[in-house]
Amino acid sequence: MRITALVLAHGAAEVRVHLVTGAAPGTAVRQTGWAVAPGGPGSELLPVHGLTAGPAAPAADTAFAARAVAPVLTGEMVAGGESGDLFVCLARLSGERDPAPLHALADVAVRRAADGAYEVTVGWADGPTHRARLTPEAVRVNGCLDQGLSA
């Protein structure tokens, strides 16, 4: 199994993109947010593509707080194999008392190109638009090629 990952960040918000290849159809996928203590910063995840909201992770002790809880999104491999499946979410860790709704921070569109690559467009509500193209071999963002982003 191979995971090609990209995070586009703007302010406190992130768009997290993961292309999973080499896993069998039906394989479970899980994306977690930051573990935070009640009354502390807010940790949010919003499913965009291939994921759905799941129950929060069980409370656990961390180095910074007792009883920290993390949001969780879940998904499942559909295509599997070398063509892979794409999973996308919005994430935020914020200490603001009344932050703007997470869905209002970015407009995210996902499409599959004719050659099988995934194309993700992120338009930040108060900033630029980024376009990314993901294949199992490479990630291209706004025309800059970086093949060192796969893990």
pLDDT 10s digits, 33-85: 999 998 889 999 999 999 999 888 888 888 878 889 999 999 999 987 787 99
Q: What is the pLDDT of residue 127?
A: 85
pLDDT more than 70, % of the chain: 94
What is the distance between the alpha carbons of residues 58 and 147, in angstroms, rounded to a whole number?
A: 36
Q: What is the pLDDT of residue 151?
A: 41
* Average pLDDT of span 84-93: 97
pTM for this structure? 0.90
Contact by Cβ (8 Å): 10, 1 = no
150, pLDDT greater than 90: no
Q: How far apart are the first and last CA of the chain?
A: 10
What is the distance between the alpha carbons of residues 49 and 61, in angstroms, rounded to a whole number?
A: 31
Domain boundaries, the chain: 2-149
Q: What is the pLDDT of residue 149?
A: 44
Question: How far is CA 46 from its chain centroid?
Answer: 9
Of the listed ranges 66-75, 90-99, 140-149, the one predicted with least confidence? 140-149
What is the distance between the alpha carbons of residues 13 and 3, in angstroms, rounded to a whole number?
A: 22
| pLDDT tier, 146 (very low <50, low <70, confident <90, very high otherwise) | very low
